Every structure is written in structure tokens, then in C-alpha cells.
């Protein structure tokens, strides 16, 4: 049986105060995606490669769209093996902004769970 640490934010409308773990594969996958997106590389002891730190990747390193897509894919393959098994997809888009460019990253699952899109991240 799959067991992951419950990591929903208390501001989440579906937050459950007394829950400590997650056993639903889709909900566990969502939690892993959020951890991957919002964790900076080097913040996890013992695994300096974990995390995306998207703002740094987009603006400090000036990666191309294809290079950033490769970084996302590499992290998914390494840390979220159930993503593809659950029918997960993601879409990365760049837009020209007035002061800075804009990037969006949407994750979706082929599911009737109501969790799709799971995370829409807008970086400006």
C-alpha cells in the first residue's frame, strides 16, 4: 500500500487538519509535483539534484523552453515514477511580457477526480 506524508497547505480549501498520510496514488503524485516545483536544488539533504527552482532556471540561467522542458521531464522521471502510470501530462508555455517574460506550467491527469489541472504555475 502506498503511503506518503500529507503535505497540503493549511490554506488549501480541502485541507484536513487531522490527516498525517496519503494513500491515494493521485493525491500522492500531486504532493510530489508540488514538492518538486517549489523546492530549490540543494535544499534536500542527501539529494542535491532534487527540485526545480523554476524562477532561477528561467531567469538566472536563461534556459530555452526545450532545456527547461528537459529539466522538468528529468525530475519527473527521477522522483515521480507514478506520474506516467497515472496518465500525467504537463504543458510549458512562454509568453512575451512587458517587463519580464511569463512562463506557465500546467500539470494534468486523465482522471475524473476533479484535481485537473493540478498545478498552474505562473512566473513573471
At residue 37, φ and ψ (nearest 5 deg) are: -70, -45
Hey, CA dihedral for 83, 84, 86, 92, is it positive or negative? positive
At residue 74, φ and ψ (nearest 5 deg) are: -60, -40
- pLDDT tens by residue, the chain, 124 residues: 677 777 777 887 888 888 888 887 888 888 888 888 888 888 988 998 888 877 777 766 666 778 888 889 999 999 998 898 888 888 888 887 777 777 788 888 876 555 555 555 555 4
User: Which pLDDT belongs to residue 120?
Assistant: 57
User: Which pLDDT belongs to residue 102?
Assistant: 77
User: Which pLDDT belongs to residue 124?
Assistant: 46
User: Which pLDDT belongs to residue 73?
Assistant: 92
Checking phi first, is residue 62 left (phi over 0); if not, alpha (psi -120 to 50) or beta?
left
> What CA–CA distance (Å, rounded) separates 71 from 1?
30
**Partners of 88 in the β-ladder:** 109
User: Which pLDDT belongs to residue 78?
Assistant: 94
> What CA–CA distance (Å, rounded) separates 60 from 68?
12
> What CA–CA distance (Å, rounded) separates 17 from 113?
21
Amino acid at each position: 500500500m502506498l503511503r506518503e506524508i500529507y503535505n497540503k497547505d493549511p490554506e488549501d480549501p480541502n485541507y484536513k487538519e487531522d490527516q498525517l498520510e496519503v494513500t491515494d496514488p493521485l493525491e500522492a503524485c500531486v504532493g510530489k509535483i508540488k514538492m518538486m516545483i517549489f523546492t530549490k536544488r540543494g535544499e534536500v539533504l542527501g539529494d542535491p539534484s532534487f527540485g526545480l527552482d523554476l524562477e532561477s532556471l528561467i531567469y538566472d540561467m536563461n534556459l530555452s523552453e526545450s532545456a527547461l522542458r528537459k529539466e522538468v521531464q528529468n525530475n519527473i522521471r527521477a522522483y515521480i515514477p507514478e506520474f506516467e502510470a497515472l496518465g500525467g501530462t504537463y504543458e510549458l508555455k512562454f509568453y512575451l511580457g512587458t517587463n519580464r517574460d511569463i512562463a506557465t506550467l500546467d500539470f494534468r491527469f486523465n482522471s475524473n477526480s476533479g484535481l485537473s489541472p493540478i498545478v498552474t504555475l505562473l512566473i513573471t
